């Protein structure tokens, strides 16, 4: 008598074993992609491992479980390979009776951490030497930050940008040999300010010269001016002015004294640098004949 074997529809199941994956940002700790997840499809329906176990299936597998700490170790992601899949049903190995068994490998990837080195903004009074420029590392872990010897901080505009004001992105920080594949490092510039320097303040009074004489039948004039430097250092400047230089011979001409008016005052620093704070005053002279 011939025996007829009828397929058990419970084995018409495709089981997928997927290795776990891990993708993290570098944090100086060791990470692993370990273990696996079991899913299945049967009769067009999908389910998880709990549903399989409820049907008395047990699935076991082996995974590679790679581990790494540094980015360079996973430049090519490490593979969490899935092998040795075994399926039992009611304690009996039915691996070969299943409709399909699929192994999907997982992976381990460590990505670089973002970090930066930021130039420190600073200032100086006008016409003084630049200070020592510094920078601050940010976002580095443990002792990973670059040392000052591994970057340079400079002001490329020194000697050119020397007027009072704020100069955006004037202080530049640049890599000088720092290498660490665990980080993507951004190098940020900073502003520099040149401030008012009281040493260059000056107060000057220009006074038109006066003449007061007794009539002697001769023409007289009140011409020119004098400079009074009440504060600061007038020797740093060239100063010029015009005066009206009135003339007269007779008393009647100066019954109201003639004015030696001061005008068109011009001044500049001898070294062609800017004068920052100044008070230029002037007094008119007069001319009278008694």
At 179-202, the pLDDT tens digits run 999 999 999 999 999 998 887 777
CA-to-CA dists, residue 58 to 12, 40, 95, 182, angstroms = 16, 12, 10, 41
Q: What is the pTM of this model?
A: 0.70
Q: Is it the case that residue 234 has pLDDT exceeding 50?
A: yes
| Contacts (Cβ under 8 Å, ≥6 apart) of 274 | 126, 163, 164
Q: From the CB of residue 3, how many other CB atoms can be counted at a distance below 10 Å? A: 4
Q: Are 119 and 135 in contact (CB under 8 A)?
A: yes
| Contacts (Cβ under 8 Å, ≥6 apart) of 77 | 107, 108, 109
- pLDDT, greater one: 289 or 122: 122
At 42-68, the pLDDT tens digits run 888 899 999 999 989 999 999 999 999
CA-to-CA dists, residue 107 to 32, 63, 77, 236, 242, angstroms = 9, 11, 6, 74, 87
77 — pLDDT class (breaks 50, 70, 90): very high
Share of residues in the chain with pLDDT > 70 (%): 86
- pLDDT, greater one: 211 or 233: 211
What pLDDT is recorded for position 99?
92
Domain boundary among 177, 195, 213: 195
Domain boundary among 111, 143, 170: 111
List, in sequence order, the alpha helices (H) in the chain: 49-54
Is 4 domain-assigned?
A: no
Is 48 domain-assigned?
A: yes
Instruction: Determine the Cα–Cα distance for residues 32 and 26; give it in Å rounded to an integer.
Output: 13
Same domain, 144 and 212: no
Same domain, 88 and 126: no
| Contacts (Cβ under 8 Å, ≥6 apart) of 119 | 133, 134, 135, 153, 171, 172, 173, 188, 189, 190
Same domain, 206 and 279: yes
Number of domains in the chain: 3
List, in sequence order, the alpha helices (H) in 134-278: none
Domain boundary among 81, 111, 141: 111
């Amino acid at each position: 008598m011939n025996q007829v074997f009828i397929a058990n529809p419970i084995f018409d199941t495709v089981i997928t074993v997927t290795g776990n994956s891990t993708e993290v940002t570098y944090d100086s700790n060791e990470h692993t992609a370990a273990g696996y997840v079991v899913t299945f499809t049967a009769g067009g329906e999908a389910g998880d491992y709990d549903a399989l176990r409820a049907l008395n299936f047990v699935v076991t597998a082996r995974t590679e479980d790679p581990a790494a700490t540094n980015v360079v170790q996973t430049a090519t992601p490490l593979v969490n390979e899935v092998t040795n899949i075994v399926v039992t049903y009611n304690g009996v190995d039915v691996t070969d009776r299943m409709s399909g068994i699929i192994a999907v490998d997982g992976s381990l990837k460590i990505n670089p951490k973002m970090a930066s080195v930021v130039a420190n903004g600073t200032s100086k009074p006008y016409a003084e030497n630049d200070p020592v420029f510094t920078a601050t590392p940010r976002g580095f872990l443990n002792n990973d930050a670059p040392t000052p010897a591994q970057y340079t901080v400079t002001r490329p505009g020194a000697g050119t940008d020397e007027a009072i004001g704020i100069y955006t992105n004037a202080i530049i920080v640049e890599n000088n040999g720092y290498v660490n594949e665990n980080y993507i490092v951004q190098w940020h510039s900073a502003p520099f300010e040149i401030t008012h320097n009281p040493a260059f303040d000056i107060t000057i009074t220009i006074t038109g010269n006066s003449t007061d004489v007794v009539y002697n039948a001769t023409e007289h004039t009140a011409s020119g001016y004098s400079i009074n430097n009440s504060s600061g250092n007038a020797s740093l400047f060239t100063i010029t002015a015009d005066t009206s230089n009135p003339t007269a011979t007779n008393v009647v001409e100066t019954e109201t004294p003639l004015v030696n008016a001061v005008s068109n005052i011009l001044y500049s620093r001898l070294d062609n640098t800017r004068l920052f704070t100044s008070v230029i005053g002037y007094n008119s002279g007069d001319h009278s004949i008694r």
